[in-house]
């Protein structure tokens, strides 16, 4: 039996396109996105030992297209610092083998 983090990591390795935390919640029937973001922070560290990496498509503003920097945590921002819009396109995640 796999842990929730192992299940998320496996899902992100097998998927063809990056998945948002909301999509992961829907697919795995997880109630809160905050749990997924917490797990993604841990997964990003643990996949390194398998010579893999968690790739992140950064969050962006849907109004002015401002692209947020990828921070130390995977959590999505709530408001655009440029135009103050709350129309934020969530970050998406994928796990792939590191290029040599």
What pLDDT is attached to residue 100? Answer: 63
Query: Would you kindly state where each structural domain of the chain is located, as residue ranges?
Result: 4-97
Local confidence band at 98 (pLDDT 50, 70, 90 cut-offs): confident
Is the Cβ–Cβ distance between 5 and 42 less than 8 Å?
yes
SS3 4: helix
Give 99's contacts (C-beta < 8 A, 6+ positions apart): none
What pLDDT is attached to residue 69? Answer: 87
Q: Which two tokens stand for residue 83?
A: 């135009």
Local confidence band at 72 (pLDDT 50, 70, 90 cut-offs): low
CA distance 50 to 18: 20
Mean pLDDT of 37-60: 92
């Amino acid at each position: 039996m796999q842990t929730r983090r192992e299940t998320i990591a496996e899902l992100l390795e097998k998927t063809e396109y990056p998945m948002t935390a909301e999509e992961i919640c829907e697919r795995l029937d997880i109630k809160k996105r905050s749990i997924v973001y917490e797990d993604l922070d841990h997964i990003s560290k643990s996949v390194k030992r398998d010579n893999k990496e968690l790739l992140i498509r950064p969050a962006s503003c849907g109004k002015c297209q401002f692209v947020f920097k990828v921070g130390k945590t995977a959590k999505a921002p709530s408001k655009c610092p440029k135009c103050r819009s709350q129309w934020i396109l969530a970050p998406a995640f994928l796990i792939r083998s590191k290029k040599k």
